[in-house]
A = this chain, B = another copy of it.
Amino acid sequence: MSENEKLTEERIFEAAEIVFEEEGLAGARMQTIADRAGINKALLHYYFRTKDHLFEAVFTKLAKKMFMKFTPIFEKDLSLEEKIRFFFREHITFMQQNPKLPGFILNEINHNPQRIQKLIKNIDFKYLWLTILEHHENELYKYNLTEETLPQILTSIASMSVFPFAAKGILEVVFENLGVDFDKYIELRKEFAADFVIKAITR
C-alpha cells in the first residue's frame, strides 16, 4: 500500500519529468503523461490535483538538480584554476546525462520568470562573492577578478558549458554538415572550455 503508493507516485513523476522536459508546460498533455505512467488520467489528478501542481513539482526538482551543480564548487578547497577545470568536467558530464534539461529550464523561466525567483531569492550572492574573496585573495590580481568583472566572468563560464546543450538542435545539424560528431565535440569541450576561460582571464 505505502509501498505501492510510492511506486505509483514515482511512476507518475518520472513520466511527467520526461514529457514536460520534451514538450514544455504548454506542449505537454496530461493524457500523454498518464499513458507513459501506464495509469488512468484520473489517477494523475488524484496524486497531483492540477497540471500546474504537477509541473511545479517537476520543475522545482529539475531546476534544483541543475543549480545544485553550480554551488558546491565554491566550497571545495581548490585553487581557482582547479575549480574552473573541476566545474566544466562535472557540469558538462551532468548535462551529457540530461541533455534536454538546460533548454527546458531556460525556456520555462523565460516564459515565467517568477518561477525561478523563489528558488534563488534566498541565495545570498554577495556572501558567495565574499567567500571567493576570502578563499582566493592572493589569486584575484592574477585573474583580474573584481566585483565588477565577476558577472561577466561567471556568465562566460556558464555560457561555455550550457550553450552547446541549449543549442543542441542547431549544432547537430551544423556539425553534420562539417562531419563533426556532437558527442565527441562535447567530450573535448570539458577541457577546451577550461583552457579557454583560464587563458582569457589570466593576466
Whether B106 pairs with A173 at a CB distance below 8 angstroms is no
Whether B152 pairs with A192 at a CB distance below 8 angstroms is yes
Whether B169 pairs with A160 at a CB distance below 8 angstroms is no
Whether A185 pairs with B111 at a CB distance below 8 angstroms is no
Instruction: Report copies per complex.
Output: 2
**Interface footprint category on A:** 35 or more
User: Contacts A152-B188, A159-B159, A175-B151 given: A110-B117 contact, CB under 8 Å?
Assistant: no
Which of the 9-residue segments A1-9, A32-40, A88-96, A195-203 touches chain B?
A: A195-203
Assembled-state Cα–Cα distance A178/B177 (Å):
42
Cβ–Cβ < 8 Å partners of A151 in chain B: 175, 178, 180, 185
Cβ–Cβ < 8 Å partners of A121 in chain B: 173, 177
Whether B152 pairs with A111 at a CB distance below 8 angstroms is no
Which residues of chain A have a CB within 8 Å of any CB of chain B?
Answer: 23-27, 100, 103, 106-107, 109-111, 113, 116-117, 120-121, 123-126, 129, 149, 151-152, 155-156, 158-160, 162-164, 166-175, 177-178, 180, 185, 188-189, 192-193, 196-197, 199-201
A-B contact pairs, 25 of them (CB 8 A): A23-B26, A24-B26, A24-B27, A24-B107, A26-B27, A106-B107, A106-B166, A109-B167, A116-B170, A117-B173, A120-B174, A125-B174, A125-B178, A151-B175, A151-B180, A152-B185, A155-B163, A156-B193, A158-B167, A159-B159, A160-B160, A196-B200, A196-B201, A199-B199, A200-B200
